[in-house]
Chains A and B, each alone.
Chain A
Amino acid sequence: MTKHRVGLFIPCYVDQFYPQVGIATLELLEKFGCEVVYPPNQTCCGQPMANSGFEHLTTGCNDLFIKNFSEFDYIVAPSGSCVLHIKEHLHGSDIPKKMYELVEFLTDVLKVDSLEASFPYKVGLHQSCHGQRGLGLAQMSELMAPPFSKPQQLLDLVKGIELINLDRVDECCGFGGTFCVAEEAVSVKMGKDRVADHIHHGAEVITGADMSCLMHLEGILRRQKSDVRVKHIAEILNSQIKA
């Protein structure tokens, strides 16, 4: 197996609030034979500012990103929206060509076809918009085109997992970056509706490839005192690595 040397990019909010997702990502990549390097001076991809109209303030972030990651042949991040942002808005570097979201890296580059993972729960898969429509991680319901889903492809390899159906398979969760506070009422209503869809179909765990969506849904679930948990797909794919 070729040993891929991977630069690991951990989104700012994952770094600060969900380190276990970063850990799971790292362990998963090492498990598949990658040499994983985490440049310590990374911060953020710049998306929160750019999406708020302040693209012109992202040169600091961009320069830092280029400085930290240029050397790698592969840069992997457990976040569809961050990866999409880099691919679309980082200029003056070949990093966009080398940037991968975790799921697509596993399916397209490492070509993972089996997993030693066990997660015996009813799981709802949330298709995060940027990963799905932007990176093409899964077919979108708007298009008249053959279905496919890279996250589901990987989850189907996990023993004991039961994936539930949803009424709306790819409706946005409502996080949307600063939208989550600037349009708080609509953002929360969108999140509540997503949560209700999953609960209606019996989900015990909601997963996806973007922790920002899951953070938003988790906030609503915990406010509702629900037993339903959120877990990033990296954590599920990596489950049972440690006893």
Chain B
Amino acid sequence: MSTNHNNHAALAAAFNKDEPRVEWHDQTLWWVRKKRDIAAAKVPDWEALRDTASRIKDNVLSNLSGYLRQFEEEAIRNGITVHWAADATEHNQIILSLLQKHKVDKMVKSKSMLTEECHLNEFLHENGVEVIDTDLGERVVQLAGEPPSHIVLPCIHKKKEEIGEIFHEHLGTPAGNADPQFLTHAARLHLREKFLTRRVALTGVNFAVAETGEFVVCTNEGNADMGAHLADVHIACMGIEKIIPQRRHLGVFLRLLARSATGQPITTYSSHFRRPRPGQEMHIVLVDNGRSVHLGRKDFRNSLKCIRCAACFNTCPVYRRSGGHSYHTAVAGPIGSILAPNLDRSKYADLPFASTLCGSCSNVCPVKIDIHEQLYKWRQVIVQEGNATAGKKAAMKAMNWVLSNPSVYHGAGRAGRWFMLNAPFTVNNGLNAWWRQRDMPVAPKQSFGEWYKKNKH
């Protein structure tokens, strides 16, 4: 377990120093959860739809190699160039090569969590390429020099006054203007110039259809389309798990995605890309980066069913009160906490513990990933592989000894209660993390066991 401050507990504690801000963050995201509930209630067969989506994804995982081959064949037939990247480094290099081939050093990019995972922007920047993120929230955090804190609502952690300041500094909007309408319009003008002048556009992929070799990109803003249809080169990046078998399956996923994410019946645009425009190049980069390894983990492979809706983020009481940056990884929240340990076990060993295992996440997940059960299982793996602190190991061993021996347990209980009653300062002090903001329970004179022995036996 990481002992530096880059762990969820420390970062969340820092986040909680500003209690009104935590409440604002929590209320905002709870509202998104409520919008999801309202939208889901309007779909009569919602739970059956989740089940269908889950089973489609189960089928996909069980035949992923076949579907990948089929998709590649169809895509190539459609005139799309298909690239395969084993890891983040290869992914980044492929994109740089395409840019260099076309002698381009400026590009626009619409939302792709995969490119966050691969740290594409930093890599391209180091290699002299300017990348403009065109999703409004992504552009805000890009200008602020921060990663997104939510995979659907990238700057949900930022107040409008802060966004106003960022736009004042970088876009020249009037100081003090925090009106969302005004700021959005300023972004529209600022980014329109980029769309019109950039020759290469990169997009993410929400779904890729094996049957037809097409892929779908969903946005509300229209930025993916503005970029792609004006560019000479359209590069689409996707994790290999984003394949679905048949086009008609999109009916299931497009009914679930936006309702789960934001409470909308569908995103404004659900764009189906099948062939490049005449004279345009269309590329798709299929990325592994640990997914094939994860696929082999019986207990954890279901996390590959994820459609990146973030419903689990919005419902998670811990995420709402700690913010995405506390997870120190590209994809935060409950799903991130079961994906990240696959990428780096010790760096992300803290994440499966950033949860009370309440189970809310698993029950909003449109593809029925058993998130809270995987959190529990990752804890076992992490400890077994030696990533628990020495202190925690010792405490658990002691607890095991006490709880496996009734007489020791009874003695320890009596002793603990004696100290609480007669020398409370030994327990009520700064070393006791419970006691910082909560009173200890009142110690009774006798335990239930002692009462029973006296009164019932």
Contacts and interface: CB of A to CB of B under 8 A. Distances in A.
Q: Give yes or no for direct A-B contact (beta carbon below 8 Å).
A: yes
Contacts of B3: none
A38 interface: yes
B252 interface: no
Interface string B304-322: 0000000000010110011
A186 interface: yes
A117 to B, nearest CB: 21
Interface in A1-55: 10, 12, 14-23, 26, 38, 40-44, 46, 48-55
A49 B396 contact: yes
A102 interface: no
Interface in A34-84: 38, 40-44, 46, 48-58, 60-61, 63-64
Contact of B448 (A23, A141, A193, A222): A23
B8 A183 contact: yes
Contacts of A43: 402-406, 409
Interface residues of B, number: 75
Contacts of A177: 356-357
Interface residues of A, number: 74
Contact of A53 (B383, B413, B451): B383
B37 interface: yes
A166 interface: no
Interface stretch (A151-159, A199-207, A212-220): A212-220
Interface stretch (A90-98, A118-126, A142-150): A142-150
Nearest to B450: A19
B344 interface: no
Given A15-B447, A48-B399, A180-B434, A172 B456 contact: no
Nearest to A183: B9
A145 B439 CA distance: 38
A53 B452 contact: no
Nearest to A140: B363
B392 A40 contact: no
B416 interface: yes
Interface stretch (B38-46, B52-60, B195-203): B38-46
B416 A222 contact: no
Interface in B394-450: 396-397, 399-406, 409, 413, 416-417, 433-434, 436-444, 446-450
Contacts of A184: 9, 13, 433-434, 436-437
Nearest to A41: B406
Contact of B404 (A40, A61, A142, A219): A61
B380 interface: yes
B97 interface: no
Interface of A: 10, 12, 14-23, 26, 38, 40-44, 46, 48-58, 60-61, 63-64, 129-130, 133-134, 140-145, 168, 170-172, 174-177, 179-191, 193, 215-216, 218-220, 222-223
Given A17-B444, A38-B456, 16 more contacts: A14-B448, A19-B446, A22-B452, A26-B456, A38-B449, A40-B449, A43-B405, A48-B399, A52-B353, A142-B315, A172-B356, A186-B354, A187-B356, A189-B22, A189-B321, A190-B317
- 6 tightest A-B contacts by CB? A60-B404, A176-B356, A219-B438, A53-B383, A22-B448, A53-B379
12 contacts: A43-B409, A52-B392, A53-B353, A57-B396, A129-B358, A142-B364, A144-B43, A174-B317, A176-B355, A182-B353, A184-B436, A186-B16
